[in-house]
């Protein structure tokens, strides 16, 4: 009979441990897993982290392409808090105080607040120039997802797996080489989502693109866009 209380206590500890693990997993899932979305009227495909901060703090009203943008917020919740940590470096209360000062001084207004990912997507899809944020798992049908460019050292993602491109024999025999420049979009999980040829021989560019799409980088809080240069030297 003495074993029953002991077993019950072990079960309670196990349940508590599982609850803690699930809670931590949930926090990790939300932390940094935020996508920046915009109305289709926005012509840019990328946006810097600094631009996101400036737009949502209403220090800028336009993107680099001259598009006037209107930021929209989610109401307080895991995604909102993750966005604030990742891009604004403020707490929810800090941001509310900041907007109150903007309104009081006549320098800005409080952005529209929406309840969840679906409401943000629906609003952004129907409002010219609108820009907002949703969870990484949210459906973004009808809106654009903007890739994030980070400045300084944070722009760099460590390459874990590198696949070398094939050098077409014909081009190598003809001593046709050079450097291929690619714009690479890296997903938060580290896989390469998109590759765009910026310069170089188009045939070598196809080979380089096929290789880079198999590369794997370290994980990050958001998408990263970076330029990659791949040399093709026929003398090697």
State which H helix or E strand residue 6 sits in. Answer: helix 3-30
Classified by CATH at the fold level, domain 31-149 comes out as D-Maltodextrin-Binding Protein; domain 2 (3.40.190)
User: What pLDDT does residue 31 have?
Assistant: 38
User: What pLDDT does residue 199 have?
Assistant: 84
User: What pLDDT does residue 6 have?
Assistant: 61
User: What pLDDT does residue 11 have?
Assistant: 55
Residue ranges per structural domain of the chain: 31-149, 153-232
User: What pLDDT does residue 236 have?
Assistant: 64
Q: Which residues contact 121 (CB under 8 A, 6 or more apart)?
A: 37, 134, 138, 139, 140, 141, 142, 143
Question: How many Cα atoms are found within 13 Å in the side-chain-facing hemisphere of 217?
Answer: 25
Digit-by-digit pLDDT tens for the chain (236 residues) are 555 566 556 556 555 544 443 444 444 333 346 889 999 998 887 788 889 999 999 999 888 767 899 999 999 889 999 999 889 989 999 999 999 999 999 999 999 999 999 999 999 999 999 999 998 888 889 999 887 776 544 446 788 999 999 999 999 999 898 888 888 888 889 999 999 898 889 999 999 999 999 999 998 877 788 888 888 877 76
Is it true that domain 153-232 has CATH number 3.30.2420.10? yes
User: What pLDDT does residue 57 have?
Assistant: 96
Burial of 219 (0-12, 13-18, 19+ CB in 10 A): middle
3-state SS string over 147-196? EEECCHHHHCCCEEECCCCCCCHHHHHCCCCEEEEEEEEECCCCEEEEEE
CA dihedral 102, 108, 110, 112 (to 10 degrees): -170
Buried b (16+ CB within 10 A) or exposed e, 133-152: bbbbebebeebbbbbbbbee
Tell me which DSSP letter residue 209 carries: H
User: What pLDDT does residue 2 have?
Assistant: 53
């Amino acid at each position: 009979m003495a074993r029953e209380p002991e077993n019950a206590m072990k079960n309670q500890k196990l349940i508590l441990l599982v609850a803690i693990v699930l809670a931590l997993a949930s926090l990790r899932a939300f932390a940094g897993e935020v996508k920046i979305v915009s109305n289709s009227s926005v012509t840019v495909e990328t946006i810097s982290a600094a631009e996101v901060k400036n737009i949502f703090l209403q220090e800028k009203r336009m993107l680099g392409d001259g598009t006037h943008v209107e930021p929209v917020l989610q109401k307080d919740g895991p995604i909102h808090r993750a966005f604030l940590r990742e891009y604004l470096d403020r707490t929810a209360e800090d941001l509310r105080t900041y907007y109150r000062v903007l309104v009081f001084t006549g320098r800005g207004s409080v952005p529209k607040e929406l309840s969840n990912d679906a409401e943000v997507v629906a609003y952004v899809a129907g409002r010219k120039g609108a820009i907002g944020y949703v969870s990484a798992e949210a459906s973004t049908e009808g809106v654009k997802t903007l890739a994030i460019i980070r400045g300084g050292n944070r722009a760099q993602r460590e390459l874990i797996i590198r696949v070398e491109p094939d050098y077409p024999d014909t081009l190598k025999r003809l001593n046709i080489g050079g450097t291929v420049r690619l714009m690479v979009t890296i997903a938060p999980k580290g896989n390469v989502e998109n590759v765009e040829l910026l310069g170089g021989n188009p045939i070598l560019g196809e080979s380089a693109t096929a290789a880079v799409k198999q590369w794997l980088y370290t994980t990050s809080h958001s998408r990263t866009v970076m330029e990659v240069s791949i040399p093709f030297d026929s003398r090697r």
